[in-house]
Amino acid sequence: MLLIDNYDSFTFNLVQYFHELGEDVTVLRNDAFVVDLLDEPHSKSVISSSAGGAYRDTGHEKDRLSIRPPFDKLRTTYSRLRFPEQLQPKRVCISPGPGTPECAGKTLDVIKAFAGHVPILGVCLGHQAIAQHFGASVTHAPEPVHGKTSLVTHNGSGLLAGLPNPLRVCRYHSLAVKEDTLPPSLRVTARSDDGVVMAIEHRELPIWGVQFHPEAILTEHGHDLLRNFLRLSA
């Protein structure tokens, strides 16, 4: 699994949970690489890495995710990775983090690169980034919720299959997906007791998002939810 770290203290809680479920995880900081997504097959561009990498001529490439990270931020033996020739994760997880999706380094570009190729799970900020990538708006939640639990009602499918309904979860967010802006390709699978979108899934692609934190100790059945993701993305 490739896990994109959006500079959040919960990132390695996710890593630990996945390790406990038997999953190998490679972690990349959201600014530790560059993403080259060219619309024209014969265009040329020069892209710089915000993590301090040198300028690089990307040459004639199309629909490729090119990565050149600092060694201290990448847990792998590669110094330069390219999707899909070298970087071939079976699944991708986008971590929580501060701020908005557009401020989260290359997170939106990663979703663009991998959507439709490998399964994706977004958590909190990652969930918001998935929704925004497909055209939804992210706005202020009715009120900030940090370190509090809520009961969410869900449809019992996908990530939430076999989990109690309602499910008690832990929330840390002041932004939320605006439900009436969701495109037809995304559906809501869970809502909080105050009506906020708590989970979404793509109708055709293996892509899921949860606004709450399954890796938080106050979330019930967090391991089971992540186990469902591994099962669905096997």
Active site residues: 124, 213, 215
Structural element, H or E, at residue 109: helix 107-114
Residue written as token pair 């080259």: 36
Euclidean distance between CA atoms 166 and 63, whole angstroms:
41
Question: Terminal CA-to-CA distance of the chain, rounded, Å?
Answer: 11
SS3 label, residue 215: coil
Strand bridging mode 56-57 / 81-83: unpaired
Tell me the backbone φ, ψ of residue 152, rounded to 5 degrees.
-110, 140
Euclidean distance between CA atoms 157 and 168, whole angstroms:
17
Structural element, H or E, at residue 26: strand 26-29
Euclidean distance between CA atoms 172 and 146, whole angstroms:
4
